[in-house]
Structure 1
Amino acid sequence: MFIFYQNGVLSYAQVEAIKTFVLGFGIYAPLIFILLFTLAPLIFFPDGILALAGGLIFGFAWGSLYIVLGALCGGTLSFFLARLYGKAMREKLAHEKLMNFQKSVKKHGFMMILLLRLVPLVPFNIISYSAGFSTIRYVDFFFATLLGMLPGVLVYANIGAQSLAFGSHEFYISISLLVALVVVSMILKHRVKKRLEAYEK
């Protein structure tokens, strides 16, 4: 983390800074990118910025793969930090909008995480930490995260990959997909909120 800060990578949200830093490691660039994604939750760095950078650096296909791997590693780290340090960590994160779905995860853990992951408007890290504080099984958390984040990953990776072709037909298609994702996310977010409230009653 000290090295990342010294290079100004995670201290400010600039895709170009991430690209320059990661490519500086040559053949190890994919590993460094995945490591960035893994450690970013420790400082609540926006995962969307890293996802865009992944598409820009590695292209759509490889970028999507590395984003998924990095996000799974980061989500797993957050999950187990919350589970291992429990109460002490919850107090330190009290200022964050942590979610409480203790009751809902008993029977609907997989589905709740899946729905929340489908909503990019809900911070990725908040879901991971909140899941760690709950009683959900890790295997349910893992596969719900994997499936739920795919639409968002593909959209962000595509935008990053097309960013160099600004003004092209493909670029506008990628922007349209992002708008569609946001609209669908807003609808899903409202429904998930109502379902969570219903489960907690």
Structure 2
Amino acid sequence: MNNLSQGHPPKNRLTRTTVIRVLTAIAVILAVILLLDKIAPHLPAAENWIRDQGIWAPVFYILLVCLLTLICFPMDVLFIAAGMIFGLWWGTLYLIIATMTSQSIIFLVSRHLLRSRVEKWMMHRPKMRILNKAIELRGAQLLFLIRMAPIPASPVTYLMGVSSMRFSRFLAATTGILPVAFASMYLGYAAVHWANTTNKPKHHFGLQDIEIYVGLIAAIAGSAYIGHTARKALIEAEKEINGAEKIDEA
């Protein structure tokens, strides 16, 4: 049985998890900044090229997300790319479309094409079996919270494809990804803004810069808090499963 379900986890363990998430976010920001510092002079040309593609730029992005998530590629990278390529508002729109479309495709592929393979895969992974039981117990409400936790989205979607959950409830619960996805997308948007402004010798730090960087801090802090809350809900569900299994064994 997963050690998360054995009693109440120590508070320092949850604190450690939150600290690790914040430090990871800071590391990603620094990495993006270092990379953008090298390519900043080429950003105007890249932005012009993207504009020249017209409607095909978001179409290619959405198709790429759908393809890569099928093989469980990390979605955070794709979310950051949306902010870097399309900016804040268009990036948010394309991110929502790409996320909901890609997860719907994975769910349907799992349910109708790969059911037996996914079930075999799940049988060899105790943590995924526990996760499946927890969602069966709590339903779409728990899945909504899990979507906010630092758990890879695509494997969970494959798991839901072989569960008893209806597609409509799955789709509603999957919107839980969006707040965390927005935080990652905002990171990409803020990183490009930083690169563009530092590449302009006459740029003066102003109100817009403050709004963007305060928004970034708020997005990271909100993402960490949401993940912490979702993790606590998952732990409680696992404890219920553990208690039910002990009753069955008695």
TM range (shorter): 0.7 to 0.9
| 1:48 and 2:76 correspond | yes
The reply on whether 1:112 has 2:142 as its aligned counterpart is: yes
Q: 1:66 aligns with which of 75, 94, 104?
A: 94
Given the alignment of the two structures, is residue 125 of structure 1 paired with residue 166 of structure 2, yes or no?
Answer: no
CA deviations over 1:31-64 (Å, ceiling 9, x no partner): 1111111111222111111111111111111111
Q: Which aligned segments of 4 or more residues in structure 1 are displaced greater than 6 angstroms?
A: none
Deviation of 1:172 after TM superposition, in Å, equals: 2.6
Tell me the amino acid that sits aligned with residue 81 of structure 2.
A
- Aligned: 1:162 with 2:179: no
TM-superposed CA distance for 1:65, in Å, is 1.0
TM-align CA RMSD: 3.1
- Select the residue among 86, 91, 103 that pairs with 2:115: 86
TM superposition score normalised by structure 2:
0.63
Higher relative contact order (CA 8 A, sep 6+): 2
What residue in structure 2 maps to residue 26 of structure 1? 53
Q: CA deviation at 1:103?
A: 4.4
Contact 1:34 1:66 survives alignment (8 Å): yes
Q: String of CA shifts for 1:58-99, please: whole Å, max 9, x gaps.
A: 111111111111111111121122212212234357579635
Residue in structure 2 matched with residue 181 of structure 1 by the alignment: 222
Gapped regions of structure 2 (runs ≥ 5): 1-34, 199-208, 245-250
Instruction: Name the structure 1 match of 2:63.
Output: 35
Among candidates 125, 149, 163, match of residue 134 of structure 1 = 163
Larger Rg: 2
- After TM superposition, give the deviation of residue 195 of structure 1 in Å: 2.7
In 2 relative to 1, CA 126–99 (structure 1 residues): closer, same or farther, beyond 3 Å? Answer: farther
Provide Cα deviations, 1:142-167, integer angstroms capped at 9, x if missing partner.
01112x12211322222222212227
CA-CA distance at 1:179 after TM superposition = 2.9
- Structure 2: how far apart are the matches of 1:55 and 1:43? 22
Query: Kindly, what percent of the aligned residue pairs are identical?
Result: 23
Question: For 1:58 and 1:190, how far apart are their aligned partners in 2?
Answer: 31
AA aligned to 1:89 is V
Shift of 1:177: 2.4
Count of residue pairs the alignment pairs up: 184
Q: Which runs of 5+ in 1 are unaligned?
A: 1-13
